[in-house]
């Protein structure tokens, strides 16, 4: 059976403080996994340990404890590198090169046999069609993000790791990024998506992991996370009038239904109430900033 694209077990990462006399835990015993073809949202306030976790996943940091595996292999192994694409937060590539030169060099370093047309097609896909020969020195933050996405998509990765990929993008560009991520999932890729933009996570992710102060505080399918267990919405109708709705606590649900029926109303549906992801996030992190 194919192993999980990403499995994090009891990951712990400590850093020494300046004088090296004491240390602090940036990530504290977190575990989660990413299934094949899934988009996993990775959330947390600033300083929660998201980027540290991503760097451990990429093999840039060595875990103090615990284990990270990708398809059962060590993150730094060559087999893993061939299968992943990485979009860093605020990418800062060498600005003396053009997007096309980067595509050529990265494809060569990855040992990919790519035609110029294929590279141009990828640049076109991320919105850099007319910029392929312009040095990225003159690019905006958003355009540099597009270069980064193009490089990540180059190898048709099985796993896309994205660290705040849409920071600095305008709404239209964010929509383009989202569409590309969804298309990649459609192709069969799994996506590990760290973002501050909860609306975005809500729109595209299947599951979410929320960190706070280095610890995992919530993990689950978005539907499950956003569904409240203690409040329900009853939709009912009085004769031929427009349907009306009533929000009730779980404890009083049956009584409310009985009362409505007793008054001659017909019950159309009873559903758990959904919270926004922002509410889930704020309650999980104790109101920590996003």
Partner 1 sequence: MKPVMTFALMTLRNLLRRRTIWGISIVILIALFGIGQIPGFGVSNEGRFILDFGLFGLEIGALLLAIGLASNIYPRDREQKTVMPIIAVPLSRSQYLMGRFVGAAIVEAAAMLVGCIGLMIILIMNGHAVPADMLPATGLLLVEGWFLLAVVFFFSFWTSPPLNAPLTTLLFIVSQMSVSGFIKLFPQAPGLMRTLRLFLPHMDVFHIKDPIAHGMDIPGLYFFLAALYGLAYMAFMLSVALAVFRSRDLK
Applying CB under 8 A, the residues found at the interface with partner 1 are: 15, 55, 58-62, 76, 78, 81, 84-86, 88, 90-94, 96-97, 105-106, 108-111, 148, 151-152
- Shortest Å distance, C-beta 253 to partner 1: 50
Per the DSSP assignment, residues forming a β-bridge with 47 are none
Q: Give the containing element (helix H, strand E) for 162.
A: strand 159-163
Q: Which is nearer to partner 1, 127 or 157 (CB)?
A: 157
- CA dist., res. 173 & res. 130, Å (int): 16
Lateral strand order in the sheet of 190-194 = 84-87, 159-163, 190-194, 39-43, 207-212, 215-221
Min dist CB 149 to partner 1, Å, is: 11
CB of 244 to partner 1, least distance (A): 55
- Cβ proximity to partner 1, 62 vs 221, nearer residue: 62
Shortest Cβ 158–partner 1 spacing (Å):
13
What is the closest distance, in whole angstroms, from the C-beta atom of residue 52 to partner 1 in the complex? 8
Name residue 16's beta-bridge partners: 23
Question: Within 10 Å of residue 12's Cβ, how many Cβ atoms?
Answer: 16
Residues 6+ apart with CB under 8 A from 35: 4, 5, 190
The dihedrals phi and psi of 22, each to the nearest 5 degrees, come to -135, 170
Closest separation between CB of residue 202 and partner 1, Å?
27
**Considering beta carbons, is residue 86 or 131 the nearer one to partner 1?**
86
For residue 79, give the H/E element and its range: helix 78-83
Nearer to partner 1, 55 or 216 (CB): 55
Written as one string, the DSSP assignment of 93-104 is: --TTS-HHHHHH
Q: 46 or 108, CB closer to partner 1?
A: 108
Output 92 or 278, the one with its CB closest to partner 1.
92
Contact 154, 82 (CB under 8 A): no
SS3 168: coil
């Amino acid at each position: 059976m194919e192993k999980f694209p990403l499995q994090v077990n009891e990951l712990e990462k400590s850093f020494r403080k300046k004088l090296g006399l004491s240390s602090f835990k940036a990530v504290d015993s977190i575990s989660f996994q990413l299934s094949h073809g899934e988009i996993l949202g990775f959330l947390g306030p600033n300083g929660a340990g998201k980027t540290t976790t991503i760097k451990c996943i990429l093999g840039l940091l060595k875990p103090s404890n615990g284990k990270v595996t990708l398809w059962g292999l060590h993150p730094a192994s060559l087999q893993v590198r061939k299968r992943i694409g990485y979009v860093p937060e605020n990418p800062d590539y060498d600005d003396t090169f053009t997007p096309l030169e980067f595509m050529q060099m990265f494809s060569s370093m990855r040992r990919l046999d790519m035609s110029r047309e294929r590279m141009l097609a990828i640049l076109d896909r991320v919105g850099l069609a007319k910029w392929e020969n312009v040095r990225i020195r003159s690019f905006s933050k958003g355009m540099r993000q597009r270069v980064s996405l193009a490089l990540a998509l180059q190898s048709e990765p099985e796993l896309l790791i994205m660290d705040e990929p849409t920071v600095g993008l305008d709404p239209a560009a964010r929509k383009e990024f989202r569409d590309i991520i969804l298309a990649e999932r459609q192709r069969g890729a799994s996506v590990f998506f760290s973002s501050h933009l909860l609306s975005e996570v809500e729109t595209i992710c299947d599951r979410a992991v929320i960190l706070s102060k280095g610890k995992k505080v919530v993990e689950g399918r978005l539907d499950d996370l956003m569904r409240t267990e203690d409040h329900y919405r009853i939709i009912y109708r009085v004769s031929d009038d427009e349907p009306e709705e009533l929000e009730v606590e779980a404890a009083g649900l049956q009584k409310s239904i009985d009362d409505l029926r007793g008054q001659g109303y017909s019950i159309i549906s009873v559903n758990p109430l959904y919270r926004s992801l922002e509410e889930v996030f704020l309650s999980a992190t104790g109101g920590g900033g996003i």
